[in-house]
């Protein structure tokens, strides 16, 4: 062999080794060299891993053996090679891995031509993109489905309603939307925790799927709101029957963790008005009917009627007003004095929320607290009232004997059941520097009775922080002595309905005397609410009631006026009750 021939051979060997090294350095790309007929003549190491075959197995056959073995694989391979011969081929194909498995591969086929342009073979390059394809499918699914329950979400549901409205014109059977909202779900979620709430939502979704027809669509819009789309129903009466069946299925007791939970659903039914009606309008009509059903009590069904639309608009406006007021500083805190019956001194104040409305003036709690509870804004509202009360609690003057004035703050049912309530209160105490011993948190008796287990954890934690606890509206919630002992309550507030008859009704005096006797036996302080007449105060003094509050002593006042009240009451002396007072309100 001449030197030139030896040099050419070395160069050829070096080039082949270099090519092999380069190909084998691609760990995630399968490279196959095909002859002009499509038979595999060479492969890199990554091809063995990706296709699940040895190098010898790969080079024994045609590239079509790597495509599905269902009869179409060979056709798909030939079509890909023909396209590549004409120029270039690239697509995502389903390919075989070993004998039984499959994967999605991004395939690029490039023709290999000689110096004169004749086809000599193909370079077949494959990347495994199964994970990417699955991710794309998953993202597409997530965009249209609820992550928790797997049900369609609002976007997909609206599209289905839109199509149903178009189909309804052909058989003159308009689609029906049933809007469901779970009654009492928020209390479960707040008291047992979000995991329990999620478990309940998944259970409700499963129950809905068992009671609707195969062609009906169910969706979760978010929170505890579900919707059902029904097609082919004869009329609204049939739709009501469907809704009632759904409501009955939801109301079956459920075991969440180790606790039996019962929730009901309010359902609103709306019938499509024709193909020109927007799907969003039909959904909104069903939502409006649902709120009418909720207003009638738990587990009710209501059918949308045109007169409901203005009322729904009023509710939306009221919610917007509430949000705006909280954002722009429209919340006000007024203070009503609590006085000692014997000395006439102020012993504390109750902090009461008011809402400044641009056109309706100053709103009392009854006008906005229910809406705040319903929308969840009660947590923000309650925190702001507590913060304002804590700031003021550290500034009140002390009584003549050095005892600090007490500040009482109401907790709503949802606040009391909130698992993180103690942490929230502790944070506010730290921010404001208020002494927890000067604060007394009030919950209604009915709240204590309705969810004693979950509420007890929060209340006992609050006691550990050093706060006092009061039962508001005592006598209206059918509680027992066991509850009062269990929660280590400090204060009982006799409801104004029992105070109202004092001085006129002997029975009212007997009830008040019994409550006071029970409180003394338990070592509790009593505050009689709603004192408005001198006769009422006289009877309470005779019965030994220690503390009173009411419009007859002083109406709830803004802070500056409340400070002046402190100065007036700090001198003590006989309490004076004015029978001439403005309209009552909390």
Task: Report pLDDT digits (tens) over 45-55.
Answer: 889 989 999 98
pLDDT of the residue at 385: 92
What is the pLDDT of the chain when averaged over all its residues? 81
What's the burial of 402, exposed, middle or buried (CB within 10 Å: 0-12/13-18/19+)?
Answer: exposed
Look at the block and give the residue holding tokens 């097609």. Answer: 231
- CB atoms near residue 525 (< 10 Å): 18
**End-to-end Cα spacing for the chain:** 112
DSSP-assigned beta bridge partners for residue 407: 349, 439
Q: Contact, 355 vs 402, CB < 8 A?
A: no
- What is the rounded distance in angstroms from the CA atom of residue 410 to the CA atom of residue 366? 13
- What is the rounded distance in angstroms from the CA atom of residue 184 to the CA atom of residue 373? 11
Higher-confidence residue: 473 or 216? 216
**Beta carbons within 8 Å of 120's beta carbon, 6+ residues apart:** 35, 36, 112, 113, 114
Q: Contact, 285 vs 303, CB < 8 A?
A: no
**Beta carbons within 8 Å of 505's beta carbon, 6+ residues apart:** none
DSSP-assigned beta bridge partners for residue 125: 31, 108
Q: Contact, 560 vs 339, CB < 8 A?
A: no
pLDDT band at residue 24 using 50, 70 and 90 as cut-offs: low
- What is the rounded distance in angstroms from the CA atom of residue 104 to the CA atom of residue 128? 6
* Beta strand extents in 475-564 (DSSP E only): 491-494, 525-528, 547-548
What's the burial of 104, exposed, middle or buried (CB within 10 Å: 0-12/13-18/19+)?
Answer: middle
**Beta carbons within 8 Å of 131's beta carbon, 6+ residues apart:** none
- Average pLDDT over every residue of 326-347: 89
CA angle at 37 for the pair 36 and 39, rounded to the nearest 5°: 100
- What is the rounded distance in angstroms from the CA atom of residue 513 to the CA atom of residue 276? 68
pLDDT of the residue at 228: 94
- Average pLDDT over every residue of 429-452: 79
Look at the block and give the residue holding tokens 């689609």. Answer: 175
pLDDT band at residue 109 using 50, 70 and 90 as cut-offs: very high
Residue 170's H or E segment, with its range, is helix 154-171
pLDDT of the residue at 9: 45
DSSP-assigned beta bridge partners for residue 346: 339
What's the token pair of residue 520? 């003394």
Q: 3-135 maps to which CATH number?
A: 3.30.450.20
- What is the rounded distance in angstroms from the CA atom of residue 126 to the CA atom of residue 577? 92
- Identify the CA nearest to 126 among candidates 83, 67, 171, 73: 67
Share of the chain above pLDDT 70, in %: 82
All structural domains of the chain with their residue ranges:
3-135, 145-306, 317-568
pLDDT of the residue at 60: 83
Q: At what angle do helices 185-192 and 452-464 cross, to 10 degrees?
A: 40
Higher-confidence residue: 390 or 141? 390
Highest mean pLDDT among 261-275, 306-320, 404-418, 517-531: 517-531
Pick the CATH number of 317-568 from 3.30.360.10, 3.30.450.20, 3.20.20.450, 3.10.20.600: 3.20.20.450
CATH 3.30.360.10 for domain 145-306: no
pLDDT of the residue at 11: 44
- What is the rounded distance in angstroms from the CA atom of residue 381 to the CA atom of residue 351? 13
User: b vs e for 140-159, b when ≥16 Cβ sit within 10 Å of the residue's Cβ?
Assistant: eeeeebbeebebbbbebbbe
Look at the block and give the residue holding tokens 């389903």. Answer: 94
For residue 375, pLDDT beyond 60: yes
Phi, psi at 125, each rounded to 5°: -115, 130
For residue 135, pLDDT beyond 50: yes
Examine domains 3-135 and 145-306 and report if their fold is the same: no
- What is the rounded distance in angstroms from the CA atom of residue 83 to the CA atom of residue 484? 84
DSSP-assigned beta bridge partners for residue 181: 225, 266
Phi, psi at 410, each rounded to 5°: -80, 140
Higher-confidence residue: 13 or 268? 268
What's the token pair of residue 69? 């073995």
């Amino acid at each position: 062999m001449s030197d030139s021939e030896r040099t050419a051979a070395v160069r050829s060997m070096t080039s082949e080794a270099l090519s092999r090294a380069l190909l084998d350095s691609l760990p995630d790309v399968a490279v196959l060299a095909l002859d002009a007929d499509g038979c595999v003549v060479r492969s890199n190491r990554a091809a063995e891993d990706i296709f699940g075959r040895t190098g010898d197995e790969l080079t024994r056959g045609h590239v079509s053996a790597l495509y599905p073995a269902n009869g179409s694989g060979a056709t798909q391979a030939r079509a890909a090679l023909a396209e590549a011969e004409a120029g270039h081929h690239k697509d995502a194909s389903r390919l075989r891995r070993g004998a039984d498995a499959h994967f999605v591969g991004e395939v690029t086929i490039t023709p290999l031509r000689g110096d004169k342009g004749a086809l000599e073979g193909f370079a077949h390059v494959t990347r495994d993109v199964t994970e990417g394809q699955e991710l794309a499918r998953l993202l597409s699914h997530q965009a249209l489905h609820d992550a928790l329950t797997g049900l369609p979400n609002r976007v997909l549901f609206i599209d289905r309603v839109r199509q149903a409205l178009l189909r309804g014109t052909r058989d003159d059977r308009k689609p029906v939307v049933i809007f469901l909202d779970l009654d009492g779900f928020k209390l479960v979620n707040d008291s047992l925790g979000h995991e329990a709430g999620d478990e309940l939502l998944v259970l409700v979704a499963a129950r809905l799927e068992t009671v609707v027809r195969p062609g009906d669509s169910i969706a979760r819009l978010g929170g505890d709101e579900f919707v059902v789309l029904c097609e082919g129903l004869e009329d609204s009466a049939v739709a009501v029957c469907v809704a009632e069946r759904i409501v009955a299925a939801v109301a079956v007791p459920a075991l969440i963790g180790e606790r039996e939970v019962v929730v009901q659903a309010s359902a609103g039914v709306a019938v499509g008005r024709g193909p020109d009606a927007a799907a969003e309008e039909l959904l909104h009509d069903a939502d409006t009917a649902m709120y009418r059903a909720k207003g009638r009590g738990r587990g009710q069904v209501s059918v949308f009627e045109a007169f409901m639309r203005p009322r729904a608009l009023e509710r939306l406006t009221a919610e917007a007003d509430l949000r705006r007021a909280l954002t722009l500083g429209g919340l006000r805190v007024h203070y009503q004095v609590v006085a000692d019956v014997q000395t006439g001194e102020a012993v504390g104040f109750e902090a009461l929320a008011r809402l400044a409305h641009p056109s309706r003036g100053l709103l009392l709690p009854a006008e906005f607290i229910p809406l705040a509870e319903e929308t969840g804004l009660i947590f923000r509202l309650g925190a702001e009232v507590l913060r304002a009360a804590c700031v003021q609690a550290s500034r009140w003057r002390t009584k003549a004997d050095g005892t600090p004035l007490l500040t009482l703050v109401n907790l709503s049912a949802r606040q009391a059941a909130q698992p993180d309530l103690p942490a929230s209160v502790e944070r506010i105490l730290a921010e404001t520097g208020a002494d927890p011993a000067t604060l007394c948190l009030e919950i209604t008796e009915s709240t204590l009775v309705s969810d004693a287990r979950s509420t007890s954890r929060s209340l006992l934690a609050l006691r550990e922080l050093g706060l006092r606890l009061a039962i508001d509206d005592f006598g209206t919630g059918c509680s027992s002595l066991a509850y009062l002992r269990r929660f280590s309550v400090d204060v009982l507030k006799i409801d104004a309905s029992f105070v109202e008859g004092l001085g006129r009704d002997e029975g009212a005096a007997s009830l008040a005397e019994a409550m006071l006797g029970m409180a003394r036996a338990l070592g509790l302080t009593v505050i009689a609410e709603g004192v408005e007449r001198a006769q009422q105060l006289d009877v309470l003094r005779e019965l030994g009631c220690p503390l009173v509050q009411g419009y007859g002593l002083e109406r709830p006042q803004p802070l500056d006026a409340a400070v002046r009240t402190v100065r007036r009451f700090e001198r003590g002396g006989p309490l004076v009750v004015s029978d001439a007072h403005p309209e009552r309100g909390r």
